[in-house]
Homo-oligomer: A and B are copies of this chain.
């Protein structure tokens, strides 16, 4: 019944729907309607109620769940099956668990809060509030291991495109797949995989995107490195414009599905050249750990399979698959 009431309210975005009408259409008592409205409020919906006019869904509601994500979703496979948590340890962990049990490609796990969200290399990722998109997608690509990096690059391109479409924000990519605004990180991507030597069983692609945080929402020690879409909109346009997480998820899923289908068909060069368009890394000075040594150099390009090519002052050229690479001018590396 929750879904049916939600459907009615969503269909009439600016109008009140009377409790009586709802009770007649759904064939339940007005008390039952009232209780369900309260449940919806608990879920985070902002519902205005007037004893005369009935109920109206506020356009300020920002709720993530399978109804909201599915409402207007234009993908074929991605996000057609959603598991949403008010709170979970980490969406990637849960996705890995259900993928082991056989969950299909495109299954999406989302959460309002992650109690132990993680970034790359085992780091914490601050995701203790409802102000970000914390999502993990299960993928079962039939490609060789060497080409998985292309999927992570593709995901970063998809996020850049989605942010442009939904929020009209220009972002760039720090290799391999951090999304950057004004030198600060707004989104991180963590890919985990389960495989045999010669066969990928599944990937879990986790995306952590800071959406509606204000500066104070970030712990002090990362304020010079982290930002949110809302902060950057305020900085560039001078206005407070909260964004809808479900809409962002929908558009990210669509953009990513389009580009993922290309990866699967082997269009690696197209993906790489799209990635290069948004790169904030190429031509820059980078510092990295390579075989346990710290070295610096200029990022000259990326290989067909997504390795970063770095030329040091002494002419040595190294290809890096991942690990820790700092780019001068980004995330506090000056």
Contacts and interface: CB of A to CB of B under 8 A. Distances in A.
A96 B93 CA distance: 12
Contacts of A122: 199
Given A93-B100, A97-B97, A100-B97, A322 B148 contact: no
Nearest to A192: B196
A92 B198 CA distance: 17
B193 A194 contact: yes
A250 to B, nearest CB: 27
A120 interface: yes
A233 interface: no
B96 A197 contact: no
B322 A197 contact: yes
A97 B195 CA distance: 14
A167 interface: no
Interface residues of A, number: 26
A192 B196 CA distance: 5
A145 interface: yes
A121 B192 contact: no
Contacts of A194: 96, 192-194
A122 B142 CA distance: 13
Given A97-B100, A100-B97, A145-B145, A321 B199 contact: no
Given A93-B100, A97-B97, A198 B322 contact: yes
Contacts of A196: 120-121, 190-193, 322
Given A93-B100, A121-B198, A192-B194, 7 more contacts: A97-B100, A100-B100, A149-B197, A176-B197, A191-B197, A197-B322, A198-B323
